Structures are given as C-alpha cells and as structure tokens.
C-alpha cells in the first residue's frame, strides 16, 4: 500500500462501513490472538466481514476471525476489530495498520489494543494481565516511513506518551475493583513469526522489556499519529523462551488467552463504562 493511497482507500472503506453503521462509535477495540469472543459481550451486534470492506486486509492466522463488529457494551457503543493482520504474513506496515486509518476516517477518538504476549519479567505467569506503559519498536520498520500525508497527522508525531496515563489509571482502578491484579509494563515488538530465542529474551530483559509480542506497536504508533488516545492490554500467554523448559506453541497461546479472556473482557467493559 502506497502512502498516497491510504487516505483515499480509508475513506472508501469508511463509507462502505457507514452504509451498514450510520452512527459509528467513537471508541474501538482491536482484538488479538484468540480474543474474538469479546464480541459476544456486545448487544445488538452488527457484524461486517472484512471481505466486504474495500481494501481491508484479511487475517490468515488461527485465532483472528476477520470481522468488524459494532454493538453496545453496557451503555456504551463500541466497535471491535475481531482479528488483525501482521507483517510476518507478508503485509507491509501500512497494510497492517490500515484498519486504524479506517477508524480514523470514522472519527474514532479512543483505541483499545489487546495482544497475547510472552512473559519476560520474573513473576509474570500465563494468564496474567498487563497494561502497557511503553514499548520497544524492534520490528525493523515504522508504519509512518515514507512521504507524510498531512491529512492523517504530523510528520514527526510525539511518542513520549503513546499509552494514555489517564486511561491506564482508570484501568488500574477498575481491575482492583474487579478483584484481580493488573500489572504494568513495557512491550517489546519483534517481527516474528518465529518465537524469540533465549538469547533474544536475555537481550530484551536487559533493554527493560516486560513482555514480548509481534503486533500492537505499529497500530499504537499510527493511532497516536492520528491523534487518538490509546490504551493497550497484554495477556501473558506463555513464559518467554529460556524462562520455561518447554517449547512454545501457538495452541498454548490460544489456550492461555481463552482462560484469561473473560477477565480481560470484564476489565475492558469496566473501563469503557468510565469513559
């Protein structure tokens, strides 16, 4: 996808969505691996398969269903991106982040990101939830590279607070009210699709990473470029390489997410209720 195509293609996609959802929510959630069941919490759902949205990338990875779902979560109207694409599937980063540009065209102001991750920091166990305070972009690229379209955002967006302090504070309060611990930490994004080596995990730990994954960061960068407030949650799906003695599998990741998913859904619902 070329830079000069993004605005036009995002507008086309947004118009197609608006035909089915005339009043689009101002808050959206992007669901990571195995988290698609979150949409079951939405009332009065409208479901649009990605294949019906012009230019929208369709995921190929298990656990990413490929639907845009709009509905009510309590008293709040919410949009859910049910599954994402990744650069390791062969997409450039503009394509990976195109759904965020579509949300921008639909005037979404708050974006909640979710991801399944490997736990690096000692004390994190599979099933734990973490709210991101910052990230390390080690994916080898940036979705903003190339000519800048000023209609989308400024040439040099500030990244000193990618993840909103205000929203993080709300999340910590709501997690406590729900009776479970919400950790806070730094997410390291690597390109994948291979899981990290023990040596890479030792490097990431020395750099200050608490969890590691293969998504989220490009979307967060584009959302901030678009002027959105961003909140991001990670489910610790497995212990990172070298911390556990057992091999890491995608099935293990999906199983851990399925176990922790209801708590994350409750937390997102509580946070959304405060917004």
Q: What are the structural domain ranges in the chain?
A: 3-274
Q: What is the pLDDT of residue 222?
A: 98
Q: What is the pLDDT of residue 2?
A: 73
Work out the number of other CB atoms within 10 angstroms of the CB of residue 199: 10
At CA 184, angle to CA 116 and CA 173, rounded to 5?
110
E strand intervals along 120-181? 129-137
d(CA 88, CA 57): 13
d(CA 163, CA 267): 17
- CA-wise closest residue to 135 among 191, 206, 209, 195: 209
- CA-wise closest residue to 109 among 45, 24, 174: 24
pLDDT < 70 positions in the chain: 33-34, 36, 60-64, 241-248, 250
- The answer to whether 225 touches 94, Cβ cutoff 8 Å, is no
Q: Which residues, listed in sequence order, are joined to residue 131 by a DSSP beta bridge?
A: 184, 233
Q: Which CATH number fits domain 3-274: 3.40.50.1970, 3.40.50.1580, 3.40.50.450, 3.90.1150.10?
A: 3.40.50.1580
Q: What is the pLDDT of residue 242?
A: 60
Q: On the CB side of 249, how many CA atoms lie within 13 Å of its CA?
A: 5
- CA-wise closest residue to 95 among 195, 30, 10: 10
Q: Which residues are catalytic?
A: 33, 64, 86, 88-89, 116, 214-215, 238, 250
């Amino acid at each position: 996808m070329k830079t000069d195509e993004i605005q036009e293609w995002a507008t086309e996609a947004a118009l197609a969505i608006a035909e089915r959802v005339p009043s689009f929510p101002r808050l959206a959630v992007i669901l990571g691996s195995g988290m698609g069941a979150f949409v079951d919490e939405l009332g009065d759902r409208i479901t649009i398969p990605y294949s019906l949205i012009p230019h929208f990338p369709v995921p190929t990875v298990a656990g990413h269903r490929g639907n845009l779902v709009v509905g009510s979560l309590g008293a709040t109207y919410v949009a859910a991106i049910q599954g994402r694409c990744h650069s390791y599937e062969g997409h450039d980063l503009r394509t990976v982040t195109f759904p965020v540009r579509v949300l921008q065209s639909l005037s979404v102001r708050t974006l909640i990101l979710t991801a399944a991750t490997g736990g690096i920091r000692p004390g994190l166990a599979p099933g734990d939830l973490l709210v991101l305070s910052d990230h390390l972009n080690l994916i080898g690229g940036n979705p903003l590279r190339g000519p800048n379209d000023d209609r989308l955002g400024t040439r040099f967006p500030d990244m000193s607070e990618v993840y909103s302090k205000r929203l993080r504070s709300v999340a910590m309060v709501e997690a406590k009210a729900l009776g479970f611990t919400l950790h806070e930490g730094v997410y390291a994004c690597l390109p994948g699709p291979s899981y990290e080596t023990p040596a890479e995990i030792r490097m990431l730990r020395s750099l200050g990473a608490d969890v590691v994954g293969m998504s989220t960061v490009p979307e967060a960068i584009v959302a901030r470029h678009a002027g959105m407030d961003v909140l991001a949650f990670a489910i610790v799906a497995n212990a990172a390489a070298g911390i556990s003695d057992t091999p890491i599998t995608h099935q293990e990741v999906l199983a851990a997410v399925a176990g922790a998913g209801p708590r994350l859904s409750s937390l997102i619902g509580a946070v959304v209720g405060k917004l």
